[in-house]
């Protein structure tokens, strides 16, 4: 009992500590974050042979869920390649991209907790649910037909000196403007 | 010298910022707008915008993961 | 004025008095769990551990930097702010150099370049897909990486959008054959060094990024003056 009390006091002291405040608590600047992301992008290409991607993984998540409820995607063009088939067969736990996406969730959770800033944000209004459903579907479908999301198609595309990255940027910028108008009009 | 509290808990970007902009436009010079947020990104972009816009801004962490951005309208 | 503000602050925060719970111990525990998972994955396959660790780093950087690709595209129009847009451009510039160096290294030795599967055909599907992706991310309040990060921050709304992102991905994958046959196959993948040469491609791309950076800065000043 006494021990836990001491521990709590220790962490309360940490909270007041100047270096904790400066290094753990306060946010990074946008430019610092941009540089770190760039460095990790380069590390990712150098160590895995491919740049960073996020949304391709979601297609596999969808396929695993679909197969769990009795569906079959083997005949779909998207999953027809032998590479996609072996990824599907190996399963969720052996999929590297899945672990990277889970890592993003847990990494963000860890820094939030270390900064003592975690809070469950509940749904406040129905329009938030509608926005989340609609936005999620649009992102998912869009990312598949455009070969990726803001990471795989935009960030990694441009970094790979691919024209597709710039075209994606233009389309995404136009979509963001339309999305902003819709958001202000219907979802606020 | 009014003081208005704007509840933006549970709202993700850019909702708090747009709501704050609209509300601030309604207020008179010298009034104070208190925006309550729990989105860590808004904790950065809201003060950034208000400072650039020339208002007096203060951020206070009221609780874990909850902030109040206090904006005094100056123009 | 300053005094009045102090009063107002006290009154508004005193109304919701909750005991402040220190979350740092949970954070430290979670870091330990992350390490244990990393080691467990590493014994299975070093690749899984590598992806896990880089994922953790990406998530931590995004969260600590409050980095948001959605805002970088949305704020210029919505609020006139371009600080995130410019940060994203900086990330593009640095990665361009790093990627080019790696790719050139392989190409110079006559080896196949890594990551060329990300140089994809440019077609009408790229524009449409990116456009509806752009609409979706603004409405849902987070792009692909931002949605994951916000799930980690405790947003229920992004948990819903993550699920429907997955559903939408499956739907897109289902229709992909149609798009591929009717639209994508009419496009061509263009690798800029094939067009401008290595030095030219890097120069052109960095020049575009630089011009966009200047334009973003000027645009923000103009919007502020209005």
Assess: ipTM above 0.90: yes
Region of poorest pLDDT, from A4-13, A52-61, A154-163, C178-187: A4-13
How far apart are alpha carbons A84 and A90 in whole angstroms? 10
| Per-residue model confidence (pLDDT) at position C18 | 55
Q: B60 and chain A: CB distance < 8 Å anywhere?
A: no
pLDDT at C124 exceeding the cut of 60: yes
A-contacting residues of C 190-219, CB under 8 Å? 190-193, 201-202, 205, 208
Region of poorest pLDDT, from A121-130, C82-91, C188-197: A121-130
| Per-residue model confidence (pLDDT) at position C7 | 40
Number of H helices, E strands in chain C: 9, 2
C-contacting residues of A 70-109, CB under 8 Å? 73, 76-79, 94, 96-97, 99-109
Beta bridge partners of B57: B71
Q: Is B37 helix (H, G, I), strand (E, B) or coil?
A: strand
Q: How far is CA A168 from CA A11, A146, A158, in A?
A: 46, 8, 9
Percent of chain A with pLDDT over 90: 81
How far apart are alpha carbons B2 and C168 in whole angstroms? 47
- Name chain B contacts of C12, Cβ cutoff 8 Å: 5, 34, 36, 62, 68
| Per-residue model confidence (pLDDT) at position C1 | 37
Q: How confident is the model at residue C62 (pLDDT cuts 50, 70, 90)?
A: very high
Interchain pair A142, C130: CB under 8 A? yes
How far apart are alpha carbons C64 and C61 in whole angstroms? 5
| Per-residue model confidence (pLDDT) at position B41 | 84
Write out the H or E segment, with its range, that includes residue B5.
Answer: strand B3-8
Percent of chain B with pLDDT over 90: 23
- Name chain A contacts of C16, Cβ cutoff 8 Å: none
Interchain pair C91, A35: CB under 8 A? yes
Domain ranges in chain B are 3-72
**Greater model confidence, A138 or B61:** A138
> Is the separation of the CB atoms in C149 and A105 below 8 Å?
yes
Q: B28 and chain C: CB distance < 8 Å anywhere?
A: no
Q: What is the arithmetic mean of pLDDT over A153-161? A: 97
Helical packing angle, C24-44 and C46-65, nearest 10°: 150
Percent of chain A with pLDDT over 70: 96
The whole-chain average pLDDT of chain B stands at 88
- CB-based burial of residue A30 (10 Å sphere; 0-12 exposed, 13-18 middle, 19+ buried)? buried
Region of poorest pLDDT, from A105-109, A114-118, B51-55, C189-193: B51-55
pLDDT at C8 exceeding the cut of 80: no
The whole-chain average pLDDT of chain C stands at 91
Q: How far is CA A121 from CA A125, C131, C138, C150, in A?
A: 12, 29, 18, 10
pLDDT at C3 exceeding the cut of 50: no
Q: How confident is the model at residue C196 (pLDDT cuts 50, 70, 90)?
A: very high
* Residues in Cβ contact with A47 at an 8 Å cutoff, skipping those fewer than 6 apart: C50, C54
Q: How confident is the model at residue B14 (pLDDT cuts 50, 70, 90)?
A: confident
Domain ranges in chain A are 1-49, 52-120, 121-188
Q: What would the pLDDT profile of A45-70 be if each residue is shown by its tens digit?
A: 999 999 999 999 999 999 999 999 99
Region of poorest pLDDT, from A83-97, A142-156, B6-20, C75-89: B6-20
Mutate to test the interface with A, among B8, B9, B10, B12 (most CBs of A within 10 A): B10
The DSSP bridge pattern shows strands B66-72 and C121-122 to be unpaired
| Per-residue model confidence (pLDDT) at position A188 | 79
How far apart are alpha carbons B13 and B26 in whole angstroms? 21
Q: What is the arithmetic mean of pLDDT over C117-145? A: 96
Q: B19 and chain A: CB distance < 8 Å anywhere?
A: yes
> HSE (CB half, 13 Å, CA atoms) of C21?
9
Write out the H or E segment, with its range, that includes residue A39.
Answer: helix A30-48
pLDDT at C17 exceeding the cut of 70: no
Task: Choose which CATH entry (2.102.10.10, 1.20.120.550, 3.30.110.40, 3.40.50.300) describes domain B3-72.
Answer: 3.30.110.40
| Per-residue model confidence (pLDDT) at position A81 | 93
- CA angle at C199 for the pair C195 and C200, rounded to the nearest 5°: 45
pLDDT at C13 exceeding the cut of 50: no
Global pTM reads 0.91
Q: How confident is the model at residue A39 (pLDDT cuts 50, 70, 90)?
A: very high
Q: What is the arithmetic mean of pLDDT over C88-112? A: 97
Q: How confident is the model at residue C5 (pLDDT cuts 50, 70, 90)?
A: very low
Region of poorest pLDDT, from A153-157, C2-6, C19-23, C153-157: C2-6
**Which residues of B are known to be catalytic?**
13
Q: What is the arithmetic mean of pLDDT over C86-104? A: 97
The whole-chain average pLDDT of chain A stands at 93
Q: B29 and chain C: CB distance < 8 Å anywhere?
A: no
How far apart are alpha carbons C164 and A135 in whole angstroms? 8
> Is the separation of the CB atoms in C115 and A51 below 8 Å?
yes
Q: How confident is the model at residue A7 (pLDDT cuts 50, 70, 90)?
A: low
Interchain pair B65, A123: CB under 8 A? no
- Name chain A contacts of C127, Cβ cutoff 8 Å: 146, 167, 170-171
Interchain pair B64, A117: CB under 8 A? yes
Nearest to B18 among A119, A128, A188 (CB): A188
> Is the separation of the CB atoms in A136 and C136 below 8 Å?
yes
Beta bridge partners of B4: B33
pLDDT at B16 exceeding the cut of 80: yes
């Amino acid at each position: 009992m006494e021990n836990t009390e001491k521990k709590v006091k220790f962490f309360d002291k940490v909270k007041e500590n100047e270096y904790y405040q400066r290094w753990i608590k306060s946010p990074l600047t946008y430019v610092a974050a941009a540089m770190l992301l760039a460095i990790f992008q380069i590390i990712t290409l150098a160590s895995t042979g491919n740049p960073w991607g996020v949304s391709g993984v979601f297609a596999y998540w969808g396929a695993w869920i679909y197969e769990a409820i009795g569906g079959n995607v083997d005949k779909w063009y998207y999953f027809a390649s032998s590479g996609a088939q072996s990824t599907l067969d190996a399963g969720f736990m052996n999929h590297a991209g899945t672990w990277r996406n889970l890592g993003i969730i847990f990494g963000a959770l860890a820094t939030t907790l270390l900064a003592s800033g975690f809070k469950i944000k509940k749904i406040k209004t129905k329009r938030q649910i509608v926005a989340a459903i609609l936005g999620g579907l649009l992102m998912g479908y869009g990312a598949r037909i455009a070969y990726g999301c803001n990471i795989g198609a935009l960030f990694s595309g441009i970094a790979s000196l691919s024209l597709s990255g710039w075209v994606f940027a233009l389309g995404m910028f136009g979509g963001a403007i339309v999305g902003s108008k819709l958001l202000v009009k219907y979802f606020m | 010298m009014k003081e208005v509290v704007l509840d933006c808990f549970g709202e993700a970007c850019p909702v708090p910022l747009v709501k704050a902009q609209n509300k601030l436009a309604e207020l008179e010079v010298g009034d104070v707008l208190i925006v309550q947020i729990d989105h860590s990104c808004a904790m950065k972009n809201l003060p950034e915008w208000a400072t650039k816009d020339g208002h007096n801004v203060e951020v206070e962490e009221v609780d874990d993961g909850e902030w109040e951005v206090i904006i005094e309208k100056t123009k | 004025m300053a005094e009045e503000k102090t009063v107002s602050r006290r009154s508004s925060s005193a109304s919701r008095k909750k005991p402040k719970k220190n979350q740092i111990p949970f954070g430290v525990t979670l870091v330990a769990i992350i390490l244990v998972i990393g080691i467990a994955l590493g014994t299975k396959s070093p690749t899984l551990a590598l992806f896990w660790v880089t994922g953790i780093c990406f998530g931590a950087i995004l969260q600590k930097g409050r980095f948001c690709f959605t805002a970088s595209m949305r704020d210029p129009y919505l609020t006139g702010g371009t600080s995130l847009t410019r940060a994203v451009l900086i990330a593009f510039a640095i990665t361009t150099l790093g990627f080019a160096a790696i790719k050139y290294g392989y190409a110079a030795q006559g080896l196949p370049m890594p990551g060329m599967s990300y140089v994809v055909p440019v077609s009408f599907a790229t524009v449409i897909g990116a456009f509806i992706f752009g609409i979706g991310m603004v409405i849902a309040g987070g792009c692909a990486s931002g949605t994951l990060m916000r799930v980690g921050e405790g947003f229920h709304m992004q948990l819903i959008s993550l699920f429907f992102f997955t559903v939408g991905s499956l739907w897109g994958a289902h229709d992909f054959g149609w798009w591929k046959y009717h639209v994508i196959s009419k496009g061509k993948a263009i690798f800029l060094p094939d067009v401008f040469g290595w030095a030219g491609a890097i120069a052109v791309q960095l020049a575009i990024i630089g011009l966009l950076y200047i334009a973003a800065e000027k645009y923000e000043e103009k919007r502020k003056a209005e």
